[in-house]
Amino acid sequence: MGELVLIRHGETEWTRSGQHTSYTDLPLTAHGEDQARTLAALLGSRPFVSVFVSPMLRARQTAKLAGLDEIQIDPDLREWDYGGYEGVTTHDIHRTRPDWDLWRDGVVPGPDGHRGETAEQVGERADRVLSRVDEAFRADGDGDILLVAHAHLLRVLTARRLGLPPTDGALFLLETGTVSRLGEEHGRPVLTAWNRMG
């Protein structure tokens, strides 16, 4: 079986400022575009069986600039819905909730359609993605599968792939414009590379 390759999209204005970004559809900055272009060298000539991409503009732009042409949009790859914390920094949240932690405490409700998600709800989406990934591996196990998405979603997905609860995604810091890989050793899922930059 091939590896599961993860790409976090390139920089946006809000990733640079530290604002929580889920459903706000921001484009990449010029630096984010450069990050995406350099990913092509890290991907090399790997044979990808499938490429699944978040529907958000920042992920789609990253995939395109990285030279990924044949993609499948997967709505389950969208970022953790931050609800009422959309566009707010952790620093600002700590002004009223000094001990707040996303992984432990979750978010407050936001506008209609964006009530926010718990780590467990994000984990359910990640599990659905992983089910589709496993189907693709079974159909053609010789190549790799690539996901282009967002930091918190990919951290939760990594935890789930490794058999951990969704909240253990807190252990996997993920920078913009990076490539990470999940594989197997002796039939057990393992990290084979993390946070590689071009």
Catalytic residue positions, numbered: 9, 79
Instruction: Quickly list H helices, 66-100.
Output: 90-96
Give the E-state strand segments of 28-76 in sequence order: 48-53, 72-73
- Give burial (CB, 10 Å; 0-12/13-18/19+) of 185: exposed
Six-digit token string for 127: 């599990």
Quickly count helices (H) and strands (E) in the chain.
7, 6
* Element at 193 (helix H, strand E): strand 188-196
3-state secondary structure 111-154: CCCCCCCCHHHHHHHHHHHHHHHHHHHHHCCCCEEEEEECHHHH
